[in-house]
Structure 1
Amino acid sequence: MARLPNENIDIELFQDDFKYIDQEFLPSVVSICSLFTYVDQKEFLLMTEESTYAYGEIICSWLSLKHDRTKPQQISCLDDMKIVRVDSSHCFVAILTDDGRVYLASNDSSWKTNNTFRLINTGNDCFKMIACGGEHLLLLRQDGHVFAMGNNCYGQITGNNEKSSYESMINTGIDNVKLIACGVDHSFSITNKGEIYSWGLNNWYQLGLVDKKNRNTPCLVLFPNDDSTRIKDIVAGHQHSLFLFENGQLWGCGSNFYGELGIDDCIVSKLTKIPIENVQQIKCSKFDSFSLAYDGSSYYAWGKTKYGKWSSPKRLDDHPTSFVAAAAMIRHISHTIGLTSTIYVFGSHDSLSYKSILRLFDNQDNYDVEFIIDKKRIKACKCYLKSASEYYCRMFSGKWTENDKVNIDDYSYETYYAYLRMLHNGKIHITRQNITELVDLANCYGDKRLMEYCKTFIRSVLNKHTLGIYHPLIEKYEMKELYDKLAHLDQNHLQSSTKRTKFF
Structure 2
Amino acid sequence: MRKINNFLNKKIIKSLVAIIIISTLPACDKSPSEHLKALTEDKYPVANMPDEPLETPLEINIEPKRLAMTSSWSAGVKDDGTLWTWGTDGLLRDTKTGQDPTPRQVEGVNDAVAVSGADHMLLLREDGTVWGWGSNSKGEIDPNDKDTFITELRQIKGVSDVVDVSAGIGGSSYFINKQGTVSFLGSNSWKLFNNSSQRIESPTQITGINNIVKIDGNAEYFLALDRYGNLFSNKCIEGTKLLSKNPQIQICKFIFDKKVVDISEGISNIVLLEDGTVWSWGDDEYSAQGNRKENVDQPEKIKGLARVVSVNSKSANTIDGELYTWGTFVYKSNHSPIGSTKDNIYRPILISKNINVKKYGLGSFADYSFIDDKGNAWMWGDKSDRGQWGTGEITEDYMPKEFVLSLHESLFNTHANK
TM-score between the two structures when normalised by the length of structure 2? 0.52
SS across alignment from 2:325: helix
Q: In the aligned structure 2, how far is the partner of 1:325 from the partner of 1:243?
A: 20
Equivalences for residues 266-281 of structure 1 within 5 A: 270-281=250-261
- Partner of 1:222: helix, strand, or coil? coil
- Equivalent residue, structure 2, for 1:283: 263
Q: What's the counterpart of residue 198 of structure 1?
A: 184
- Counterpart of 1:312 in structure 2 is 298
Three-state SS of the structure 1 residue aligned to 2:66 is strand
Aligned match of 1:344 in 354, 360, 363?
Answer: 354
1:176-215 matched pairs, under 5 angstroms: 176-184=161-169, 185-206=171-192, 209-211=193-195, 213=197, 214-215=199-200
CA offsets 1:412-467 (integer angstroms, 9 cap, x no match): xxxxxxxxxxxxxxxxxxx979xxxxxxxxxxxxxxxxxxxxxxxxxxxxxxxxxx
Contact 2:136-2:142 within 8 A present in 1 as well? yes
| Structure with the larger strand share | 2
Q: Secondary structure at the match of 2:160?
A: coil
Output the CA distance in 2 between the equivalents of 1:202 and 1:271.
Answer: 17
Match of 2:66 in 1: 85
Does residue 274 of structure 2 align to residue 296 of structure 1?
A: yes
User: Structure 2: which 5+ residue stretches go unaligned?
Assistant: 1-41, 45-63, 286-291, 318-323, 329-343, 356-371, 375-418
> Which letter does structure 1 place at the counterpart of 2:316?
A
Could you tell me whether the CA contact under 8 Å between 2:116 and 2:122 is conserved in 1? yes
Question: Residue 325 of structure 1 aligns with which residue?
Answer: 316
Give the Cα separation in 2 of the matches to 1:150 and 1:275. Answer: 37
Q: Higher mean Cα deviation, 298-307 or 322-331?
A: 322-331
Q: Look up the match of 2:130.
A: 146
**Counterpart-to-counterpart distance in 2, 1:319 and 1:193:** 35
1:218-297 → structure 2 map (5 Å cutoff): 218-223=203-208, 225=210, 230-237=211-218, 239-253=220-234, 270-286=250-266, 289-297=267-275
| Distance (whole Å) between structure 2 residues aligned to residue 280 and residue 106 of structure 1 | 34
Q: 1:121/1:309 Cα in 2 relative to 1: closer, same or farther (>3 Å)?
A: same
**How far is 1:237 from its partner?**
4.0
Contact 1:178-1:192 at 8 Å conserved across structures? yes
* Counterparts in 2 of 1:328 and 1:130: CA distance versus 1, 3 Å: same
SS in 2 for 1:154: coil
Count of equivalent residues: 251
Map Cα deviations across residues 178-224 of structure 1 (whole Å, 9 max, x no partner). Answer: 11111112011111111211111122233xx4335311321112125
Distance in 1, matches of 2:106 and 2:239, equals 39
Deviation at 1:248, TM superposition (A): 2.3
CA contact (8 A) 2:190 2:219 kept: no
* Separation (CA, whole Å) in 1 of partners of 2:279 and 2:90: 39
SS of the residue aligned with 1:344? Answer: coil
Task: State the AA in 1 paired with 2:126.
Answer: Q
Give distance in 2, aligned partners of 1:100 and 1:284.
25
1:92/1:110 Cα in 2 relative to 1: closer, same or farther (>3 Å)?
closer
User: How does the TM-score come out when normalised to structure 1?
Assistant: 0.43
Q: What is the DSSP-based 3-state SS (H/G/I as helix, E as strand, rest coil) of the residue aligned with 2:283?
A: strand
Q: Deviations over 1:329-365 (max 9, x none)?
A: 576459x9xxxx97428xxxxxxxxxxxxxxxxxxxx
Structure 1 residue ranges without an equivalent (≥5): 1-13, 17-82, 346-430, 434-504
Change (3 A) 1:329 1:163: closer
Report the CA distance between 1:108 and its aligned residue: 4.1
CA distance in 1, matches of 2:219, 2:304: 28
Change (3 A) 1:275 1:216: same
1:310 and 1:293 map into 2 onto residues whose CA distance is 14
C-alpha separation in 2, matches of 1:219 and 1:300: 30
8 Å contact kept, 1:153–1:164: yes
User: Aligned partners of 2:109 and 2:282: how far apart in 1?
Assistant: 42
Structure 1 position 107, deviation (Å): 3.0
Rounded Cα–Cα distance in structure 1 between residues aligned with 2:65 and 2:195: 37
Cα distance 1:212–1:95, how it changes in 2: closer, same or farther (>3 A)? farther
